Structure 1
Amino acid sequence: MPNAKTDSNVQQPNQELSIAQRRAVTELLRVSPVADDLARRFQEAGFSLALVGGSVRDALLGRLGNDLDFTTDARPQDVLKIVRPWADAVWEVGIAFGTVGCIKAVEGDEGAQEYQIEVTTYRSEIYDRSSRKPDVSYGDSIEDDLVRRDFTVNAMAVALPEKEFIDPHRGLEDLARRVLRTPGTPEASFSDDPLRMMRAARFAAQLDFTVDEPVLVALRDMAERIDIVSAERVRDELNKLVLSGHPRKGLEIMVDTGLAARVVPELPALRLERDEHHRHKDVYEHSLTVLEQAMDLEDGGPDLTLRLAALLHDIGKPRTRRFEKDGRVSFHHHEVVGAKMTRKRMTALKYSGELVKDVSRLVELHLRFHGYGSGEWTDSAVRRYVRDAGPLLDRLHKLTRSDCTTRNRRKAAALSRAYDGLEERIAQLQEQEELDAIRPDLDGNEIMAALDVKPGPQVGAAYRFLLEQRLEHGPMSREAAVSVLKQWWAEQQS
């Protein structure tokens, strides 16, 4: 990149690092002809185009994928005229906010590469104090656009096709220092878009960066401003944070600054006050540790269901804490209370019904293993455990194992062996029975035929009785099931 726009009064970062990182962008653009091709089309139409924001940041970090973000002085309707004849698909979902999206496949040395592209007109976003959506106004220069970006590491651009590096706010230096700082004052940035406060926590978790102290101060002072942002946008940011590589870092920022109290108040509530006569583990720290341990057990990439369940599994403890006379602290039925609280919070954040059901069910079941004690698991207990977990069994295994945070190695080893034993018992019964689809040995039609009754509540009661028999005693032959059913029926009639 022969040219570089930057603040002349700012000391440049390490020259060797700067050259290496700029070379990474040059290499990116060399192997991405789609960028130059698109830029030429904008140039021919009399407009400018630049790679911008997260795309430049990720290129410098060596982690850019096929999602490319561009900015331009062209208005959205002009962008549509340029990209429609060129792209393989175009969508206008974000056009009200100045963004046009498209898909473009390009043949390269390694075969066809499909790029997902967003082109956004220079813009600013300013929230009214009572509004949940930004008012969009378009700018006339890339410098005006960059100053309104959320953080300096996202306020860099590469003008195309000349490949001029534009960094008016020392984003490259902050990237090298691994720090999150705003281009202007944090107060102005967060006033423009309060969701940026959550993005600060999210980027810290995703990039493993620290947050500049003035930014943290603004987060504490302005936390209540997050209330005007829609639940859906807040939820999406929370998901990205939880699914990141360092979620503890982002969650601690949210709790320490007061953001969590506005978004997930159940999390800071886990910081229970200690009593000098009644001791118990730090529930807040325990929950974050369980989350990290659950991440270590993931085998197919980040699992939002498991991570949310790990984070929220003990949120019922503050409401159920009791100080016993013998000096102990109890949290009786906190899993049941926690499941209800999980459903309420996730519903308020507009999560899907299926995800709400799965996460709250895991919270409800996370103590089930301990409820059976340390003795030998009976066949009926194993069947009920598998039946209650259903399709969540694998996640329940991981959550239960992650919930052991004791520093007592002997106790931890004993719990691990006990759960190993349970999984072995499940595997043994899986070979003998269809545990994943446990049902009575007679269906509804067979029950009605055996009892000579018509459809109604009696059939449902009989079905539940046979299910209990199946769970308690295992599979029966049809004849045995009919015999047991008729005996039960005679008792009911008498």
Structure 2
Amino acid sequence: MQTVAQALARMGELAASPTVSKLATAFEGAGYEFALVGGPVRDAFLGRAVNDLDFTTNATPDQILAVVAPIAEAHWDIGRAFGTIGAKVAGETVEITTYRADAYDGDSRKPEVVFGESLEDDLGRRDFTVNSLALRLPRLELVDPSGGIEDLLAKTLRTPAPPERSFGDDPLRMLRAARFSAQLGFEVEEGTRAAMTALAPEIDRISAERVRDELSKLLLTGAPRGGIRLLVESGLAERVLPEIPALRLEVDEHHHHKDVYEHSLTVLDQAIDYEVSRGVLDSPDLIVRLAALLHDIGKPGTRRLEKGGVVSFHHHDVVGAKLARKRLRALRFDNDTIAAVSRLIELHLRFFGYADAAWTDSAVRRYVRDAGEQLERLHILTRADVTTRNRRKADRLGFAYDDLEERIAVLAEEEELAAVRPELDGADIMRLLDLKPGPVVGEAYRYLLEVRLDEGPIGPDAAEQRLRAWWAAREA
């Protein structure tokens, strides 16, 4: 946390940058108010990198365009209906928004856009006090009408207006509370938490796309666990991601199993650690994090209390994959993300048989083939899924997965494992068997693929012999 003097000095340096100074001079010259607002001001106090430049002004969108157009390399008005104009100035992308005073009407999923009259009014309708800070430009006057600096010092999230009104105006702010709590490491003030619980049903007014985007931002923070806990404890998760609170299974006094909810949060933590430490994927990786959080959501529906105090969750991987597909579709995730996450959940148990009995090369090939493009993510998820406190068991599983990855690497080098396919393609099959395109060609191809997976490369001549023998047996 920076001191006020340090933060103001940092903002002074930012104000002197070509982008900010050019904009501030242009708006002042045109007779309009102009201020840096929200996240950049907050982050200057927190000593965090300032990446996005957001400005606000009393100029209307048309007036903003008139000021910006002569000094910008490019500008766009895709957000004009919401009062926002985007531009590229001195090489940096910025957004400039007219003062706002909008709110929900109580039924609509989208706010009614109403322009405000003053900077203070604009700051008062924002989500949290720590985001309700502004720096008037070019004179470098800090504006903090709701005590945001004190809340930054106290590491507290609080709404500038009464939370019931703030969340009533825009229920998505309740999800943003969870996200900023995780992102900044702040505690949500008691009254604000109580309002989240009381108003949780209001989140139903928000579109699935906006909910999806906010959940994604939460998962992409450095430590999302606390934010997820807040969603569960407030009742919001029950409405937007009910599979997660459902993981809090009751434990029968005669049947014992690990806490699935806590286990899933730990797997998420560990997956993030592996994602970063392995350095193969672009981090943060939303697919890894969704798969880690959701990997056991099939357990509540498959839980069985067996004799001898044993609890089973047979086929929870398959059930969980189906549940994940359904939930992610409801949240309007794209098809590629849905397919990747559900595939990882479906495969997340596959490895554990390897630790008990070493696989054949054929089994290793199938593991790679079934994972496909998700192999690295499957490595991460499988390793993260080991949360046992039994050090001997954890080491055994870790060593076994090390061995599996080494075998995959060796086979990949020897056999081009990432592109496993038969030595004969569909055209070869049709030529050799004098066939026309049809289902039987696919049947023959799948047979040759099984041979390839079982035995590795056998060469085109041997593949032809196998094909003809298969065809003769089929025709007999």
TM-score (norm. length: structure 2): 0.97
Judge conservation of contact 1:39–1:49 (CA < 8 Å) in 2. Answer: yes
Match of 2:42 in 1: 57
Q: Kindly report which structure 2 residues correspond to 1:161-180, keeping only aligned pairs within 5 A, or say none.
A: 161-180=138-157
Q: Kindly report which structure 2 residues correspond to 1:175-190, keeping only aligned pairs within 5 A, or say none.
A: 175-190=152-167
Judge conservation of contact 2:14–2:20 (CA < 8 Å) in 1. Answer: no
CA distances 1:448-468 after superposition (whole Å, capped 9, x unpaired): 222222221111111111111
Match of 1:34 in 2: 19
Aligned length: 471
Q: 1:98 aligns with which of 79, 83, 87?
A: 83
The offset of 1:417, in angstroms, is 0.7
Judge conservation of contact 1:198–1:254 (CA < 8 Å) in 2. Answer: yes
Say yes or no: does 1:292 pair with 2:269: yes
Say yes or no: does 1:455 pair with 2:432: no
Q: Distance in 2 between matches of 1:29 and 1:67?
A: 14
- Structure 1 residue ranges without an equivalent (≥5): 1-13, 106-113
Q: Distance in 1 between matches of 2:472 and 2:3?
A: 85
Matched to 2:118, the amino acid is S
Say yes or no: does 1:333 pair with 2:315: yes
Say yes or no: does 1:25 pair with 2:11: yes
Judge conservation of contact 1:67–1:115 (CA < 8 Å) in 2. Answer: no
CA distances 1:321-348 after superposition (whole Å, capped 9, x unpaired): 1111222000011010111111111111
- Structure 2 residue ranges without an equivalent (≥5): none
Match of 1:377 in 2: 359
Q: 1:84 aligns with which of 59, 69, 73?
A: 69
The offset of 1:373, in angstroms, is 5.0
Q: Distance in 1 between matches of 2:107 and 2:163?
A: 20
Judge conservation of contact 1:125–1:193 (CA < 8 Å) in 2. Answer: no
Identity of aligned residues (%): 60
Judge conservation of contact 2:57–2:98 (CA < 8 Å) in 1. Answer: yes
The offset of 1:202, in angstroms, is 0.5
Q: Distance in 1 between matches of 2:239 and 2:102?
A: 22
Q: Distance in 2 between matches of 1:370 and 1:393?
A: 16
CA distances 1:415-448 after superposition (whole Å, capped 9, x unpaired): 0011111111111111210110111121111112
Q: 1:248 aligns with which of 219, 225, 231?
A: 225
Q: Distance in 2 between matches of 1:409 and 1:372?
A: 19
Two-structure CA RMSD over aligned residues (Å) = 1.3
SS at match of 1:407: coil
Name segments (4+ residues, structure 1) moved above 3 Å: none
Looking at secondary structure, tell me which structure has more strand per residue.
1
Q: Distance in 1 between matches of 2:208 and 2:223?
A: 23
Q: Kindly report which structure 2 residues correspond to 1:71-220, keeping only aligned pairs within 5 A, or say none.
A: 71-105=56-90, 114-220=91-197
Judge conservation of contact 1:440–1:470 (CA < 8 Å) in 2. Answer: yes
The offset of 1:24, in angstroms, is 2.5
SS at match of 2:101: strand
Matched to 1:173, the amino acid is E
Q: Distance in 2 between matches of 1:182 and 1:343?
A: 35
Matched to 1:418, the amino acid is A
Say yes or no: does 1:277 pair with 2:254: yes
SS at match of 1:35: helix
Judge conservation of contact 2:225–2:265 (CA < 8 Å) in 1. Answer: yes
Matched to 2:294, the amino acid is L
The offset of 1:217, in angstroms, is 0.3
Q: 2:417 aligns with which of 431, 435, 445?
A: 435
Segment of structure 1 superposing worse, 365-374 or 253-262: 365-374
Q: Distance in 1 between matches of 2:110 and 2:142?
A: 32
Matched to 2:58, the amino acid is D
Judge conservation of contact 2:40–2:51 (CA < 8 Å) in 1. Answer: no
Q: Kindly report which structure 2 residues correspond to 1:6-25, keeping only aligned pairs within 5 A, or say none.
A: 17-25=3-11
Q: Kindly report which structure 2 residues correspond to 1:461-480, keeping only aligned pairs within 5 A, or say none.
A: 461-480=443-462
Judge conservation of contact 1:278–1:328 (CA < 8 Å) in 2. Answer: yes
CA distances 1:205-230 after superposition (whole Å, capped 9, x unpaired): 11111110111000000011111111
The offset of 1:404, in angstroms, is 0.1
Judge conservation of contact 1:147–1:183 (CA < 8 Å) in 2. Answer: yes
Match of 2:377 in 1: 395
The offset of 1:395, in angstroms, is 0.9
Match of 1:493 in 2: 475
SS at match of 1:136: coil
